[in-house]
A and B are shown apart, each in its own frame.
Chain A
Amino acid sequence: MVKQAHKIASQVATLFETSPLILDSGVTLSPVQVAYETYGTLNSDKSNAIMICHALTGDQYVASTHPLTGKSGWWERIIGPNKLIDTNKYFVICSNVLGSCLGTTGPKEINPETGQIYGIDFPVITINDMVKVQVGLTDTLGIQKLFMVIGGSMGGMQALEWLVDYPDRVGSMMLLATAAQHSAQNIAFHEIGRQAVMADPEWRDGKYQEHDTFPRKGLSVARMTAHVTYLSEDGLMDKFGRNLQDRDAPTYGFEADFQIESYLRHQGSSFVDRFDANSYLYITRAMDYFDIAARYEGKLADAFKKASDVPCLVITFTSDWLYPPEENKRIAHALNAAGVPVSYASITSDRGHDSFLLDIPEMDKMMTGFIQSAEARLMKDQRDDG
């Protein structure tokens, strides 16, 4: 079932071969490939697995060098031997989400039914669909119950889906800088990004692979817009201010006079080298559809009623205006109302939404305390069972 992919370094599991994956849209997919990385060793009773759920443009390379960019894993600071999430103790799994572009089934991959690249014929997916694939992967690895699920931003949305639909398969849960629904503002920014991609003549109605083109400019603009939402005004002023880039005076033209412009252009152009434009459309759409409470007549607490045995930690950052503290607090209060043991803290940071990816000592302290208490709880449960 598990084989090494030839294109990328990840392991790839082939799932849903005998019974297809039924998507929220009603469309079925079979088989489904999922590319994933693991760190550490699964123990004999398979009780030490931590699932890390990545954000919109993240990937499975959470703690190892990215094959396309050559950069460190996106949470390598946190995950590794003797690190905050100690891979001497834990078996960490991070899979590339359904619809993405680093080895998991998505618009860039071949449709097994037609032998052609899916492209824009790929079905629209949801966050819940992504989690169904993660659950399938967990099954394949023989893990009945994860020690912990951790996710930030879109990863937090996946973690919430685990909590709502698979509470028996999760020991504890860490949610960072996330939301229980995508707001109108969130949808608006995503729509700007999608329109930028689709307005690029090289997008070719989503069939750019057939034409051997790529909507670099559109995807780059989408990334630039999104990137601003990941930062904060104070953070931007602090880092760039109104400083000019490589010049002493403005040019009175449309060159990148300001450092922030140059920075954003770099963010945009480096992004298109590692991400697929259609994947960007599908994943942003999945996030837009995300609304946990809507499935429970608007009562978020009702979604968590079956999760009262799953301790949760919710962390938010004061300058995050994309998934603001109020939205995270709403999750914490709903968890509390449902009887879920929950901790919630708002961490002062001027680094905006991306704070969860950065070195924030307060966050580390809380994560460490939470993991230690989850460890103690697991050991107590094992003693009680034994």
Chain B
Amino acid sequence: MTDSQSKDLRPDLQLIANLIAPESRVLEVGCANGDLLQWLVHNKRVDGRGMELGQAGVNTCVSKGLYVVQGDADVDLKDYPDKSFDYAVLSRTLQAVRQPREVLLELLRIGEKAIVTIPNFGHWKIRLQLLMNGKMPVTRHLDYTWYNTPNIHFCTVKDMLDLIESEGLTLDAFVPFDAKGDQLDQSLSRANWGAHQALFVISD
């Protein structure tokens, strides 16, 4: 299911947008400038809400007319009632929270399903950089040095699948994809080696 209109979104957000049912309730945690939310509100008539840590992002969202609250995924998700959303979305943010496991469980408490994308630290370029240079990898998608990165809990595709399994959660969909957002082979070792990012649809 490819929605041609979602092409104006960042590739990982396109994948998420295409998975979300029209007129559903969506909470996006770490919604940045609200691109995904705005697209969903206008194209799929969703009841979209956002949470964003950065003030600049919140201000942009509010001036776009979106419903976004300035908040911290590690702290503020507890205020949301159980199953108050159809989807809780966390795109490229799990690696930046202090308690990824707790945040993931909170997403599933709040949402019927969680849609999570992660940058894959198992990608061969990253592995190669560490191997060759002996220094923390810096790539176009992970363009921070070790001392100033917001990303504090990197994981690989395999690590994420392990966490889902160890918590007894259900993996409804798994989409490894490359930098352009093109889906890759789902075989685990190839995904773990070749995917820039991966998307997981999880339920409890």
Q: Which residues from chain A sit less than 8 Å from chain B, CB to CB?
A: 301, 311, 313, 329, 332-334, 336-337, 339, 341-348, 362, 365-366, 368-370, 372-373, 376
| Min CB gap A377→B, angstroms | 9
* Contact in complex: A342, B63 (CB < 8 Å): no
CA gap between A368 and B59 in the complex, in Å: 11
| Min CB gap A229→B, angstroms | 24
CA gap between A347 and B65 in the complex, in Å: 17
The 5 A-B residue pairs with the shortest CB-CB distance, nearest first, are: A373-B65, A369-B63, A333-B79, A344-B69, A365-B63
Most chain A CB atoms below 10 A, which of B47, B64, B70: B70
Does B43 count as interface, using CB distance less than 8 angstroms? no
* Contact in complex: B80, A337 (CB < 8 Å): yes
* Contact in complex: A339, B84 (CB < 8 Å): yes
What are 24 pairs between A and B in contact, CB < 8 Å?
A332-B69, A332-B70, A333-B76, A333-B79, A336-B49, A336-B69, A336-B80, A337-B80, A337-B81, A341-B67, A343-B58, A343-B61, A343-B69, A344-B58, A344-B69, A344-B70, A345-B59, A345-B62, A346-B58, A347-B55, A365-B62, A369-B62, A369-B63, A370-B65
| Min CB gap A51→B, angstroms | 21
* Chain A residues, Cβ within 8 Å of B47: 341
CA gap between A344 and B71 in the complex, in Å: 9
* Contact in complex: A346, B70 (CB < 8 Å): yes
Does B114 count as interface, using CB distance less than 8 angstroms? no
Q: Is the interface of A mostly helix, strand, loop or mixed?
A: helix
* Contact in complex: A343, B55 (CB < 8 Å): no
CA gap between A42 and B47 in the complex, in Å: 31
* Chain A residues, Cβ within 8 Å of B66: 343, 373
* Contact in complex: B62, A313 (CB < 8 Å): yes
* Chain A residues, Cβ within 8 Å of B55: 345-348
* Chain B residues, Cβ within 8 Å of A346: 55, 58, 70
Nearest-neighbor residue (CB-CB) of B61 within chain A:
A343
Does B108 count as interface, using CB distance less than 8 angstroms? no
| Min CB gap A212→B, angstroms | 52
* Contact in complex: A372, B65 (CB < 8 Å): yes
* Chain A residues, Cβ within 8 Å of B67: 311, 341-343
* Contact in complex: B79, A347 (CB < 8 Å): no
Does B68 count as interface, using CB distance less than 8 angstroms? yes
Find B70's partner among A334, A341, A345, A368 (CB 8 Å cutoff): A345
| Min CB gap B78→A, angstroms | 9
Nearest-neighbor residue (CB-CB) of B68 within chain A:
A343
* Chain A residues, Cβ within 8 Å of B61: 343
Question: C-beta contact mask, B141-184 vs A, less than 8 Å → 1, else 0?
Answer: 00000000000000000000000000000000000000000000
* Contact in complex: B62, A343 (CB < 8 Å): yes
| Min CB gap B87→A, angstroms | 16
Question: C-beta contact mask, B28-66 vs A, less than 8 Å → 1, else 0?
Answer: 000000000000000000010100000100110111111
Question: C-beta contact mask, B112-152 vs A, less than 8 Å → 1, else 0?
Answer: 00000000000000000000000000000000000000000
Q: Given A329-B70, A365-B62, list of 11 further CB < 8 A pairs?
A: A333-B69, A336-B69, A341-B49, A344-B71, A345-B68, A347-B59, A348-B55, A369-B62, A369-B63, A370-B65, A373-B66
CA gap between A337 and B81 in the complex, in Å: 6
Nearest-neighbor residue (CB-CB) of B47 within chain A:
A341
CA gap between A42 and B68 in the complex, in Å: 31
CA gap between A340 and B84 in the complex, in Å: 11
Q: Which chain B residues numbered 72 to 105 have a C-beta less than 8 Å away from chain A?
A: 76, 79-81, 84
* Chain B residues, Cβ within 8 Å of A344: 58, 68-71
CA gap between A366 and B58 in the complex, in Å: 9
Most chain B CB atoms below 10 A, which of A333, A336, A369: A336
* Chain A residues, Cβ within 8 Å of B58: 343-346
Q: Which chain B residues numbered 185 to 204 have a C-beta less than 8 Å away from chain A?
A: none
| Min CB gap A14→B, angstroms | 40
| Min CB gap A301→B, angstroms | 8
Nearest-neighbor residue (CB-CB) of B67 within chain A:
A341
Nearest-neighbor residue (CB-CB) of A375 within chain B:
B65
| Min CB gap A119→B, angstroms | 45
Nearest-neighbor residue (CB-CB) of A373 within chain B:
B65
